[in-house]
Amino acid sequence: MIAHQSCILVVDDNESVRDILSMLLEARGHRVVIARNGQEALDMMRRESVDLVLLDIMMPVMDGYDVLRWMRVDPELSSKPVVVLTAIHDTESIIKCIEMGADDYLFKPINRAVLMARVDASVEKKRLRDVEHKHIMELAILQQIDRELNASLNLGEVARITLGWAMRQTDAQGGLIGIVEDDKLIILQNEHLPYEEEEVILLKALTGGAKTNGRLQTIQLTPEQTSVKNVQHRLIVPIQREGVVNCLMLLDKEQTPNKNDLNFLSRLRDHAAIALVNAQLHAAVQEANQAKSDFISLVSHELKTPIAVIRNYAELITSGRSGDVSPKQYRFIETIRTNVLRMKALVSDLDDISRIESGRLRLDLAHVALENVLDEVVSIVEQQATQKQQKIFIHLDPQLPLLWADRFRLSQILTNLMSNASKYSPEQHDIFIRAAVVRHDGEAFVQIEVEDNGIGIRDTDKQSIFKQFFRSADKKVRAALGTGLGLNIVRRLVELHNGQIWFESAYRKGTTFFFTVPIAETAVSTPQIS
Ligand code: ADP
C-alpha cells in the first residue's frame, strides 16, 4: 500500500485492459474510475477529482489525441498528468502525445512493475505540483491582503479587511476583531456576534477563560456563548507585535477548524499585525494633532480679550484723557502698544493655523482684481518699507484676468511675502512684484512673484522654510522679529486656493517667492477691472 490514495482514471475501449489496470491499481490502494472512450474520459474528469489519467490512444467516438487537445485548452484539466498507453515501438504516437502535453507513456501489454513505477512517479509529480500551486495561491492571496491593508491607515477599515479575509478563508459564520486593553476587548468590527461596535467586553467572557497568550487556539462553544446558529467552535486569534498581544480576533465556525484554517490565520495575523499597529499609531497621532489644534484654538480665543483690554487702556493713557503723561511714560506706553500689536498678530496666526488644521477655515471665493488687492497691501507694507528706504515696484501683465480667490486671504498672502521681503532685506534694497498668466499641466493660472535682493536663504534651510515655527539660525534673520508661522500659513492658504507656492533663493543675494492663483473662469479673457 502507498501513503497517498489517488484517484486514477483508466481510459481504454478494451474491457480486459481496463480490468487488468483497475485490479493492479486498486491492489496498490488507488481509487480507479473508468471511461471507454475520449468523450466519457472528459466527462469523468469534470465530475471527479482525478489525479492521473491513463489514456489509450486509439479509441472510438473520441481518440486519445482529441482528449489531449481538449485538456490543453481547459484550464481545469490542463495540469492533470496523463500517461498514454500505446503499442510497443509506436514511437511516432508517443512523440506526438508528449508534444501535445502527455507526461509519460506505457507500452501494451502492460508490465506490472513498469506500470507501478510510472504511476507512482506521476502521482508524486502531481502532488508536488499541487503543493506548489497551493503555495502560489496562498502567496497571491497574501499579496492581495497586503495590498488592501497597505492602502488604508484607518483602524476600522484595517480591522474590517482583516476580519473579512479571515472569515472567508476559514468559512467562519461569525467573528469579531478588537483592541486588547488589559483584560478587556474594545470591538472594532463585528460580524453576526451579539455585540455592538466599540463595545468593551471582558476577554474572559469572549474566550471562555482561555488565556490570550499569543497562541492560536480553538475552544468549544456552548449555545449560550454564541448567537450564530449551529456554531460550535471558536478560533481565538491573538495578534501581537513585539511579543505583546494588542489585538484579538474571534472566529465562530460550524465545522471543526482544520490545519489549513490554522495555517492561514497564523500568516494573516502576522501581516495584519503591522497594518493594525500602524493604523493605531495613525489614530493616536491624529488624536494628538486634534488636541494640539483644540489647545491652540482655546489659547488664541482666550488671549483675544485681554489683548484688546491692554491695547485700549494703552491708547487711553497715550490720549491724555486719563491725566498727564510724561515723555518717558509715553515711550513706555508706546513699547506696550507695539508689543500688544505683535501679540495680536501672533494670536491671529495661531487662530488661522487651528482653523486651517481643523478644516474650519473656509475661503470666501469671488472674482478678484489683483491690482486692487495690491493697492491695499502696498498701503500696509509701505510704512515698513519706507522706514528702510525700500521702494516697491509692481509690474502686472496688462491683460491680467480676474482671479478666483478669497480677497482677504490673498491680501494676507501678499502682505506676508512683501513684509518678509522688506524685513529680510537691507536698507535701500527694493522689492519687485510681478504677475502674469502661466500654464501648469495644461491649466491656466496667474503666477505672482515677490522678489527681493536681501539676505537670501541658506541651502541647508531651504527644505524647512514652510515648516511651522521655522526660523533660520542666520544672524541676519534673528536680528528681525518673527514667529516662523507666516510662511506656513501662506503655503496652506495658497494650497486652499488650489495654487502652488515655491521659491528661488541665493544666499546673500536675494529671494523670489512664486505662487499661483486660479483664474476666474468667466473672466479668462476679460481685461482687468481696476
Ligand atoms: P518669520 O518671518 O516670522 O520668521 P516666516 O514663516 O514668515 O516667519 O518665515 C520663515 C523663515 O523663512 C524666516 O524666519 C526666514 O528664515 C525665512 N525667510 C522668509 N522669507 C524670507 C526672505 N524673503 N528672505 C530670506 N529669508 C526668508
pTM metric for this prediction: 0.59
- Average pLDDT value for residue range 96-102: 90
Which pLDDT tens digit goes with each residue over 11-32? 999 999 999 999 999 998 999 9
Q: What are the pLDDT digits (tens) for 242-267?
A: 888 999 999 999 999 999 899 999 99
Residue-wise pLDDT for 426-478, tens only, equals: 999 999 999 999 998 888 999 999 999 999 999 999 999 999 999 999 999 99
Amino acid at 244: V
Compute how many other C-beta atoms are within 10 angstroms of the C-beta atom of residue 485: 20
208 CB under 6 A from ligand 1? no
Binding site membership of 453 for ligand 1 (Cβ less than 6 Å): no
Ligand 1 touching residue 420 (CB < 6 A)? yes
Give 4's pLDDT tier (boundaries 50, 70, 90).
Answer: low
Residue 251: all three cell numbers together: 472566529
Residue 488 Cα: closest atom of ligand 1: 6
Residue 489 main-chain phi, psi, to 5 deg:
-65, -40
Q: How many CA atoms lie within 13 A of 7 on its CB side?
A: 10
Which residue out of 452, 475, 487 has the highest number of ligand 1 atoms within 8 Å of its CB and is therefore the one to mutate? 487
DSSP code string of 155-208: HHHHHHHHHHHHHHHHT-SEEEEEEEETTEEEEEEEESSS--TT-EEEHHHHHT
Give DSSP secondary structure letters for 111-159. PHHHHHHHHHHHHHHHHHHHHHHHHHHHHHHHHHHHHHHHT---HHHHH
Q: Is 487's C-beta closer than 6 angstroms to any atom of ligand 1? A: yes
**CA–centroid distance, residue 491 to ligand 1 (Å):** 13
Q: What CA–CA distance (Å, rounded) separates 489 from 495?
A: 10
- Whether the CB-CB separation of 501 and 491 falls below 8 Å is answered with yes
The Cα 153–Cα 373 span in angstroms is: 42
How many other CB atoms are found less than 10 A from the CB of residue 330? 13
Q: Residue 16: CB partners within 8 Å, gap ≥ 6?
A: none
Q: Is 477 near ligand 1, meaning CB less than 6 Å away?
A: yes
Higher pLDDT, 3 or 380: 380
CA distance 110 to 248: 59
Main-chain phi, psi angles of 390, to 5 degrees? -105, 140
Q: By alpha-carbon position, which residue is closest to atom 21 of ligand 1?
A: 420
**CA nearest 373: which of 406, 345, 421, 417?**
406
pLDDT digits (tens, 9 = 90+) for 337-394: 989 998 999 999 999 998 898 888 999 999 999 999 999 999 999 999 999 999 999 9
Q: Is 516 in the pocket of ligand 1 (CB under 6 A)?
A: no
Q: What is the pLDDT of residues 440-451, one digit of tens each?
A: 888 899 999 999
Measured from the CB, is residue 452 less than 6 Å from ligand 1? yes
Nearest CA to ligand 1 atom 23: 421
Average pLDDT for the chain: 91
How many other CB atoms are there within 10 angstroms of residue 47's CB atom? 9
- Is residue 67 in contact with ligand 1, taking CB distance under 6 Å? no
pLDDT in tens, 212-245: 788 899 998 877 777 677 778 999 999 998 888 9
- pLDDT per residue over 477-506, tens digit each? 999 999 999 999 999 999 999 999 999 999
Which among 420, 433, 475 is the best mutation to test ligand 1's pocket, defined by most ligand atoms within 8 Å of the CB?
A: 420
Task: Determine phi and psi for 443, rounding to 5 degrees.
Answer: -110, 140
Nearest residue by C-alpha to atom 19 in ligand 1 = 420
3-state secondary structure at position 8:
strand
- Grid cell at residue 171: 468559512
Indicate whether residue 486 lines ligand 1 (CB < 6 A): yes
User: Would you say the CB of residue 425 lies under 6 angstroms from ligand 1?
Assistant: no
User: Does the beta carbon of 455 lie inside 6 Å of ligand 1?
Assistant: yes
Confidence label for 284 from pLDDT (cuts 50, 70 and 90)? very high
d(CA 14, CA 199): 70
Distance between Cα 387 and ligand 1 center (Å): 19
What distance lies between CA 147 and its chain's CA centroid? 9
**b/e sequence 74-95, b meaning 16+ C-beta within 10 Å:** eeebeebbbbbbbeeebeebbe
In the predicted structure, residue 123 carries a pLDDT above the cut 90: no
Pairwise CA distance, residues 54 & 69, whole Å: 15
Helix (H) or strand (E) holding 331: helix 327-357
Distance CA 110, CA 84 (A): 12
Q: Which tops the pLDDT comparison, 203 or 503?
A: 503
- Residues 60-87 pLDDT 10s: 888 999 999 999 999 889 889 999 998 8
Do residues 140 and 93 touch, judged by C-beta distance below 8 A? no
Question: What percentage of the chain exceeds 70 in pLDDT?
Answer: 97
pLDDT higher than 50, residue 524? no
**190, 176 Cβ separation under 8 angstroms:** yes
Confidence bin at 168 (pLDDT 50/70/90):
very high
pLDDT band at residue 330 using 50, 70 and 90 as cut-offs: very high
Report how far residue 40's alpha carbon sits from residue 9's, in angstroms, rounded to the nearest whole number.
Answer: 11
In short, whether 421's Cβ falls inside 6 Å of ligand 1 is: yes
What percent of the chain has pLDDT above 90?
Answer: 68
Helix (H) or strand (E) holding 86: strand 82-87
The residue that leads in pLDDT, 198 or 318, is 318
